[in-house]
Homo-oligomer: A and B are copies of this chain.
């Protein structure tokens, strides 16, 4: 089907979806969960085709694992749909109505965005997940998954659309672009007037390409060069725990700590014992000169290290001689994601929260908590590192907008 037709279908569907009440949407989501479980064999068959093709072209094991579905994983996807059904529906809430001096009653009502485009890579679970979040918020979605997962994605979308139709809801609530060429991605990014937002989910390359080429508004989900700063007043045992956790609990995520910043007054006491613990976990330490003198196992850091998101068992270590130097260093090199201070000083804690420019700023906690589920949103579309519209972990609210509703009785402007 032509992209323009897909876009028009989505626009039409979005009008109908905006009017569905929460009860109906939740029924449909639960029916979709049930259908996915019941038809898991079909999904597995199609997924096997994707896996065979991927193996044939020599895909790495770690990527094959991301592509692979199993009965358990399909069960997990279905449970995800049911969980979204259980969340509160944000649509329709009116945020504070005010009466103006001329008698106009003006309020802001929370409404769907309309049509959401999602461009993502090889994980087929994103297909069901993105649909669920968009559908719950009354949006139609147009999905463009990676070519490696095309059979799996077609199967999942088939099941979702059949379930929607059976429930008497427009199947165009979810449409998959099956033309997996780069050209079709390029076209999608220019569909102003049809798409209200485009959300890229995937690696840095994909996200950069969408930010650079899309004329449709984008929500940028980003990379994380996250720091832990150990202040001179820090509880050093707490610091060790937090750094270990932030660096090693799961190394491939955007909220993982990539750089340690440490006040020189506590470096001598902290670094040797911290280095031992990090070494035991296999972490390579890239150190500035002062840190290197305290960590025999360390290697020298280069300027480039301060700006790196390693996503690996590597940590850069920078010593500073003041709180101000720490703040300046972090604000210079961070990516606006998550930053933490370990301190016992009230003033420095408050200043860190004020002065660090990032989506999430912590006192005495691991950066690993930056996550929609950990923050209590019950769902996550991604973590925004831009400042417009949504910043930090995005739950259902990020897929909504507002409109002003105004009740009058004949008012005209003077």
**A387: contacting residue among B114, B249, B355, CB under 8 A:** B114
User: Which among A47-55, A74-82, A238-246, A260-268 touches the partner chain?
Assistant: A238-246
Give the complex CA separation of A94 and B395 in angstroms.
Answer: 19
Inside 8 A of A375's CB, which chain B residues have their CB? 100, 106, 404
17 example contacts (A-B, Cβ-Cβ < 8 A) are as follows: A18-B357, A19-B354, A100-B375, A104-B365, A197-B388, A217-B220, A219-B388, A249-B413, A358-B403, A360-B403, A363-B408, A365-B406, A369-B411, A369-B413, A370-B404, A388-B401, A392-B403
Give the complex CA separation of A359 and B15 in angstroms.
Answer: 15
Give the complex CA separation of A393 and B406 in angstroms.
Answer: 13
Give the complex CA separation of A205 and B12 in angstroms.
Answer: 28
Inside 8 A of A114's CB, which chain B residues have their CB? 357, 387
Chain B residue at minimum C-beta to C-beta distance from A106: B375
Inside 8 A of A355's CB, which chain B residues have their CB? 15, 18-19
Give the complex CA separation of A369 and B100 in angstroms.
Answer: 11
The reply to whether A386 and B100 contact each other, CB–CB distance below 8 Å, is: no
Inside 8 A of A364's CB, which chain B residues have their CB? 407-411
Which secondary structure dominates where chain A touches chain B?
Answer: mixed
Extra 9 A-B pairs, beta carbons < 8 Å, given A104-B369, A353-B405: A98-B376, A196-B387, A211-B215, A242-B410, A249-B412, A361-B403, A363-B406, A365-B412, A391-B402
Known: A217-B388, A354-B19, A374-B100. A410 touches B360 (CB 8 A): no
Inside 8 A of A98's CB, which chain B residues have their CB? 376
Cβ-based interface call for A26 (8 A): no
Inside 8 A of A365's CB, which chain B residues have their CB? 104, 406, 408-412
Inside 8 A of A241's CB, which chain B residues have their CB? 410, 412
Inside 8 A of A402's CB, which chain B residues have their CB? 391-392
**A412: contacting residue among B353, B368, B389, B403, CB under 8 A:** B368
The reply to whether B218 and A363 contact each other, CB–CB distance below 8 Å, is: no
Scan A4-26; emit 1 where CB is below 8 A from any B CB, else 0: 00000000000100110000000
Known: A197-B388, A245-B413. A362 touches B406 (CB 8 A): yes
Give the complex CA separation of A123 and B363 in angstroms.
Answer: 46
Give the complex CA separation of A197 and B218 in angstroms.
Answer: 12
| Distance to closest chain B CB from A326 (angstroms) | 14
Scan A253-280; emit 1 where CB is below 8 A from any B CB, else 0: 0000000000000000000000000000
Cβ-based interface call for A192 (8 A): yes
Chain B residue at minimum C-beta to C-beta distance from A405: B353
Most B CB contacts (10 A, CB to CB) among A235, A354, A369, A404 go to A404
Give the complex CA separation of A354 and B355 in angstroms.
Answer: 42
The reply to whether A412 and B192 contact each other, CB–CB distance below 8 Å, is: no
Cβ-based interface call for A185 (8 A): no
Quick one: which of A83-104 are within 8 Å of B by CB?
Answer: 98, 100, 104
Cβ-based interface call for A2 (8 A): no
Inside 8 A of A359's CB, which chain B residues have their CB? 403-404
Give the complex CA separation of A355 and B112 in angstroms.
Answer: 11
The reply to whether A363 and B412 contact each other, CB–CB distance below 8 Å, is: no
Cβ-based interface call for A366 (8 A): yes
The reply to whether B387 and A391 contact each other, CB–CB distance below 8 Å, is: no
Give the complex CA separation of A87 and B113 in angstroms.
Answer: 30
Cβ-based interface call for A212 (8 A): yes
Cβ-based interface call for A331 (8 A): yes
